[in-house]
Chains A and B, each alone.
Chain A
Amino acid sequence: MTTARIPLLHRYANPAVFGRLASQVLPWTTGAAILLLALGLYFALFSSPPDYQQGNSVRIMYVHVPAAIMSEVVYGMMAAAAAAGIIWKHALADLFVKAAAPLGAAFTFICLVAGSLWGKPMWGAWWVWDARLTSELILFFLYLGYLALVDAFDDPQRGLKAGAILVLVGVVDLPIIKFSVDWWNTLHQPASLMTMAGPKVDPSMLLPLILMIGGFTAFFITVVMLRLESELLARRIRAWRTAAGDE
C-alpha cells in the first residue's frame, strides 16, 4: 500500500487535528442547525398546507421523517466507524461510535413517539406489530444495548470493542427497516421520498421537510463533534490519572 492513500484518514483520525477541524467547523454547523430548524419549523407549522387526507396531522411528518432518516443514517455511520475501529485500530473511530450512540437513540425515540402520535388519529392504533414498526423498535433496542454495553467494562477500551461488534451485528436491521415496506405487507406506507419515480410529496410540503432534514443533520454534526471532543478530553484525563497513579 502506498503512503499517499492512508495519510488522509490518519490525519483526521489524529485527535489534535480533529480538535482544530472541530473548532473551525462548529460555528458553521451550529448556525446552520439553528437557522434550518427555525425556518423548517416555521414552514412546517405555519406556512404549509394541510394534507388532502390527513388534514393538519400531516405536520407530524415534518418531525417523524427527519428523525427516522437520522435514526438509520446515524446507525450506518456508527457501523462504518466501528468497522474502521476494528480494522485499523483508530481510537477516534471507536470514540465516534460512543459519541453518536445517544443521539441515534434519541432520534429513534422521537421517530417512534411521533409516529405513534400520528398513528392513533390516522390508522386508529397507537402501535401495530408490522415489519416496519417492529424493525425500527429493534433499532432502538440496539442503541440501548450499545449504550449499556459500552460502559459495562472496567477497561473502557474493552467496552468500545464489545460495543463496536454489537453495532456491526445490528447493521443487518438497516436494510430490513428500509425495505420492510416493500418486502412484506405492512400497515406503514411505502417510501414517499426516495422512490424510483421521484418524491410523492407535493413541493409545498417537500420544502419544510427538506429544511427539517437539513436542520436535524446540522444538529447531529454539531452535537456529535462536541461529544467527541469531550470524549477525547475524558480519555486524556484518564491517561494522566493512570500515569500519576503509577508513580
Chain B
Amino acid sequence: MTRRGKRRLQALTLGMLGLGVATALALTAFRDNIVFFYSPSDVIADHINPGRSIRLGGMVEKDSVKRQGDVTEFRVTDTSRTIGVTYRGQLPDLFREGQGVVTEGTLSPDGNFIAREVLAKHDEKYMPPEVASALKRAGEQTHATSTLVEKP
C-alpha cells in the first residue's frame, strides 16, 4: 500500500471509531426514550405518575382475562411484578393469555392501568399447528416468554 493510502486508511479507521463511540454514547444517554414500553417492574420501580401516558408491556397472565361487553380486564406480568389493565375496545387477533402484549395508556391512582390501545406482541417462533400441539403434549412451553421476562 502506498504511504498516502495508508494515511487514508488510518484517517478512515479513526473517523469510524469516533463515529461509533459517539453513537454508542448517544444511544446509552437516550436509553429510556428508545425503549418502546416499560415492564411492570419498570413502572413500579420508577414510580411513574398517574395520568402520564406510557406504554406497558409484558405477558397477559394466564386466567386473568375477564370480558364484560366491550370492556376487557386482564393482568400484565413480567413474572416478577404484575399490573391490572382495563381496556375498552377491540383487541387484536393475537391477543391471548400467555402471549405478549403492549398497551398504551395511563396509570390510575389506585395502581390500575387504563389502556387506550392494545397491541399484540408476537414471539420469534414459527411452527405449524401440529408441531405446536405436539410440543404442548410433551409439556414444553410454546409461547416465548424469554423476551418479556426481566433481563438479568
Contact = CB atoms under 8 A, between A and B. Distances in A.
Interface of A: 1, 6, 49-54, 58, 61, 83, 86-89, 121-125, 128-131, 168-169, 171-172, 176, 181, 183-187, 189-192, 195, 200-202, 204-205
Given A52-B132, A122-B93, A169-B19, A201 B37 contact: no
Contacts of B131: 52, 202
B124 A192 contact: yes
Contact of B5 (A88, A123, A171, A200): A88
Contact of A128 (B20, B119, B122, B128): B119
Interface stretch (B28-36, B45-53, B66-74): B28-36
B20 A124 contact: no
| B interface secondary structure, majority | mixed
B94 interface: yes
Interface of A is mostly: loop
A123 B34 contact: no
Interface of B: 1, 5, 8-9, 12, 15-16, 19-20, 23, 27, 31, 34-39, 57, 91-94, 99, 102, 117-133, 142, 144, 147
Contacts of B35: 131, 184-185
Contact of B127 (A171, A183, A189, A202): A202
Given A87-B8, A169-B19, A189 B124 contact: yes
B34 A202 contact: no
A171 B36 contact: no
B20 A87 contact: no
A204 to B, nearest CB: 6
Given A123-B92, A123-B94, A130-B36, A189 B123 contact: yes
A52 B129 contact: yes
Contacts of A86: 8, 12
A124 B121 CA distance: 9
Nearest to A171: B16
Contacts of B125: 192, 200-201
A152 to B, nearest CB: 22
A50 B12 contact: no
Contacts of A202: 126-128, 131
Contacts of B120: 122-124
